[in-house]
Amino acid sequence: MDKYINTPITEQVTKELKAGDYVYITGTVYVARDAAHKRMIEALQRGEDLPIDIKNSTIYYMGPSPAREGRPIGSAGPTTASRMDKYAPALLDLGEKGMIGKGKRTKEVIDAIVRNHAVYFAAVGGAGALLSKCITKSEIICYEDLGAEAIRKIEVENFPAIVVVDCEGNNLYETAIKEFASL
Amino acid sequence: MRTVNTEILIQNIKEMCIEANHYLSEDMDEAMKKAVSTEKSELGKKILNQLQENLKIADEDMIPICQDTGMAVIFLEIGQDVHLEGMAIGDAVNEGVRRGYTEGFLRKSVVGDPLIRENTKDNTPAVIHYDIVPGDKIKITIAPKGFGSENMSRIFMLKPADGVEGVKEAILTAVKDAGPNACPPMVVGVGIGGTFEKCAILAKKALTRPAGEHSEIPYVREMETEMLEKINRLGIGPGGLGGTTTALAVNINTYPTHIAGLPVAVNICCHVNRHVVREI
């Protein structure tokens, strides 16, 4: 089912999303990969504040290619989410509601999704040129020294994604594969 | 003896890095188009159509097909009658990569040390495989490799008793485990035989063979066809979200091996299987 949603994503929204829904996301989204996640978790361990407003936030796992002149961003497709698995539960427990990436998640992450009524979306891997067209603004907000891995705040408009793990823990990667398996 | 200045090598490598990251080669383009018409899942078809649109945007607007513009893997087949003048050959190759990735707005994804992990900021060094061959030409193959799929690649040191069935099982296991992480539809490069490192290089090189072109060895050709069919019955599908297009090609290379061993490497590549070849 096609759905149009806006960020920040609240619990009221995630409760309506089901694994397999095709969504178009509009609003502010943070961008971070594993190096940035590692730093955020280290900051928390030192008792410091996070550099982003985590409550009801959506984090897109992505490291763009450099922008050409006149464009907000370069190629901007999802990276493999499992590299963030070690860090995601702590952020979900602090209020992160949406994650956009690609690929399987661990049981610990799925448990944290259910516990916090969050959602995991997949964007299409290897469609970085197409997805960059849905990003209207991009600014680096911290960890600039990480280059392509710095944390960014971006504005997206009708960004296409698919609900893979919904707030009840239903996992499209498992159910959809079974439907088409014939070996 | 033919003399080639390394500046020519640098210029070609620069252009090839940019070309590989913006346009798919004809074989991959055809395989992707064909997949749209054969895919059985509606969502799978939708994803494949998005990937078609993505290729069009990449081409028209000069945006890399994928943001992971890869670590530059370069195969150099250097004729033994070529004399290179100018820079040291490794430095020249890296200079070409440096210029390509910097001037071409490609992502710099290389860290200088695997554990200290500081970005080198120009995507060097490349991974270079040299071969000395007869003749006075230099054949350059550039295959920028993204790590979503590279991370899902495997080496299996099988026993001779495992035989053909063991090899087939190893291939299926690698693809199944890769699933959605490797950005399917994938291309599966397989190396069988040689030693531990040789089979890995065979698998990597298999990925540079045009999709749809088969091995010249009859039994290997049959195995390629059979494995492609089996992989596409796993149900993984485009984006790993279910469907009948999990792989676009299975390319297998073989090499003699030791009486005691049967090494098998499975190098998985996503649908952005970049490979550009030039001969100078």
Whether residue A134 is predicted with pLDDT greater than 90 in this model: the reply is yes
Are residues B125 and B195 both part of a single domain?
Answer: no
Say yes or no: B151 and B257 in one domain. Answer: yes
Q: ipTM for the complex?
A: 0.94
Residues from chain B that touch A65, judged by Cβ atoms under 8 A, are 63-64, 67, 69, 105-107
Asked if A52 and A28 count as a contact pair (C-beta separation under 8 A), the reply is: no
Within a domain: residue B43? Answer: no
**B202 and B77 in one domain?**
no
CA distance B138 to chain A (A): 31
- Identify which of B43, B62, B180 has the shortest CB distance to residue A103: B180
Domain boundary among B144, B178, B204: B144
- B218 to each of A74, B27, B49, how far by Cα in Å? 45, 22, 35
* Pair (B112, B228) in one structural domain: no
Domain total of chain B: 2
User: Nearest CB to B241: which of A35, A68, A162?
Assistant: A162
pLDDT at A117 over 90: yes
- Rounded-to-integer distance, Cα B215 and Cα B82, Å: 29
* Residues of the domain holding B207: 147-273
pLDDT in tens, B164-217: 999 999 999 999 999 999 999 999 999 999 999 999 999 999 999 999 999 999
In a domain, B228, yes or no: yes
Mean pLDDT of B95-117: 97
Looking at the fold, whether B161 and B240 belong to one and the same domain comes out as yes
Instruction: Determine, yes or no, domain membership for B127.
Output: yes
Q: Do A77 and B67 touch (CB under 8 A)?
A: yes
Report the residue from B43, B50, B121 with minimal CB separation from A127: B50
Query: Inter-chain contact A65–B106, Cβ cutoff 8 Å?
Result: yes
Question: Can you give the pTM of this predicted structure?
Answer: 0.95
Q: Which residue of B has its CA nearest to A176?
A: B242
d(CA B183, CA B190): 18
pLDDT on residue A21: 97
- Whether residues B107 and B134 share a domain: the answer is yes
Report the CATH architecture of A2-182.
Alpha-Beta Barrel (3.20)
**Is B30 a member of any domain?**
no
End position of a domain, from candidates B94, B117, B144: B144
- Domain end residue (candidates: B98, B114, B144): B144
Whether B239 sits inside 8 A of A162 (CB atoms) is yes
Residues B193 and B81 in one domain: no
